[in-house]
Amino acid sequence: MTFTNPSAAEIKALLARAKTIAVVGLSPDPDRPSYSVALYMQRQGYRIVPVRPGGGALLGEPSYERLADIPFPVDIVDVFRASAHVAAHVGELLALPGKPALWLQEGVIDEAAAAKAQAAGHLVVMDRCVLKEHRRLRSPAPRRGPGPGGP
């Protein structure tokens, strides 16, 4: 069976309802994609929760060694690690409270792990960039003031 990503409507709904994103593999290096993507999402109003070894803080948030160490629920687990590590993170995901979505960034592909998360009831997006999807699917900004021909 081949993995199929959720529809654009499902991804848009996920991004609309999500408030907290755990970013697994968030780098402190501003030149790394994980940092720039997390910063963008933070600026869009999402709470970013860094998950990486070594502790400390990133983007003004404390980091956690493992997903299990986060003391509150998250809505999306966004993985920026090599595909070989995905299965272990899915194991952690399955132990989290609620049913956070699993988001595997561009180039992060593990169909077996994705299927395992889906079978447990988690929404899974694979080989897609959350920043690009957010930009592509967001609603246009509301118009301000009168339109053409208005007062």
**Percent of all residues in the chain with a pLDDT value above 70, rounded to a whole number:** 91
Q: Read off the pTM.
A: 0.90
Residue 145 lies in a domain: no
144 inside domain: no
- What pLDDT, on the 0 to 100 scale, is given for residue 1? 60
**Position 143 in a domain:** no
How confident is the model over 46-95, as pLDDT tens digits? 999 999 988 789 999 999 999 999 999 999 999 999 999 999 999 999 99
Residue 122 lies in a domain: yes
| CATH number assigned to the domain comprising residue 79 | 3.40.50.720
Q: Which region, left, alpha or beta, applies to residue 98 given φ > 0 means left and ψ of -120 to 50 means alpha? A: left
> What is the number of domains present in the chain?
1
**Residue 133 sits in which domain range?**
8-137
Strand stretches in the chain, DSSP E = 20-24, 47-51, 57-58, 61-62, 76-79, 101-104, 124-126
Let me know if residue 3 belongs to a domain.
Answer: no
| Per-residue confidence (pLDDT) for residue 150, from 0 to 100 | 41
Q: What pLDDT, on the 0 to 100 scale, is given for residue 54?
A: 85
Q: Is the pLDDT of residue 129 over 50?
A: yes
Q: Is residue 27 part of a domain?
A: yes
148 belongs to a structural domain: no
Torsions phi, psi for 45 (to 5 deg) = 105, 0
